[in-house]
Chain A
């Protein structure tokens, strides 16, 4: 399924680098999400944008900064990450927050 596209697929970065993850959805949905998936842990919701209004999980460190310029695009800006931030970062979208979510293939992030 190509409804939700994430780039890059893989990213290796040092702890002092700044990078951004990109997500684009072609489904006409009104809500977009960032999730973190670590080995043997459940998917963790990081941020939700619904009609371009942000709702966030208060446990997410400030070194992760989301941006949603419009209903089709979502970014996750990364700076001064830690080794424990290495994980699969998944973007998802849904028609509204009560509807099933459609996921992208994710960005596999490795912090050196």
Chain B
């Protein structure tokens, strides 16, 4: 079966750096995705890692270690608008469920 673990909630200060961790157990791994979802809105795609290492995209970076079943999303220079849920999702090569989501981490940015 598939399993994803990420913290339920985190709080960080405006201007700071925050790291949201995600660990997974899966078969047929085909990459790891991060999505951002503001309350009442659609999830929006942030990043995709299929190989080990760090992918940087502006203030956001995502890291993957396939051997450890571990990923993190790093948010720098936090802004109030970064308050949202961050969803870790694993891509699967086979089966009907080709994208398996975690429950998400609700990040609150405080002044």
Contacts and interface: CB of A to CB of B under 8 A. Distances in A.
Given A90-B42, A100-B33, A101-B45, A43 B87 contact: yes
Interface residues of A, number: 22
Is the contact region of chain B dominated by helix, strand, or loop, or is it mixed?
A: strand
A41 to B, nearest CB: 7
A100 to B, nearest CB: 4
Interface stretch (A69-77, A79-87, A102-110): A102-110
Given A42-B104, A90-B42, A98 B97 contact: no
A59 B67 CA distance: 31
B30 A98 contact: yes
Contact of A97 (B41, B87, B89, B98): B98
B96 A56 contact: yes
Given A42-B4, A101-B45, A105-B42, A57 B102 contact: no
- Determine the interface band of chain B, counting residues with CB < 8 A from chain A: 20 to 34
B63 to A, nearest CB: 18
B30 A103 contact: no
Nearest to B31: A98
A100 B41 contact: no
B60 interface: no
B27 interface: no
Interface string A3-43: 01000000000000000000000000000000000001111
A112 interface: no
A42 B41 CA distance: 15
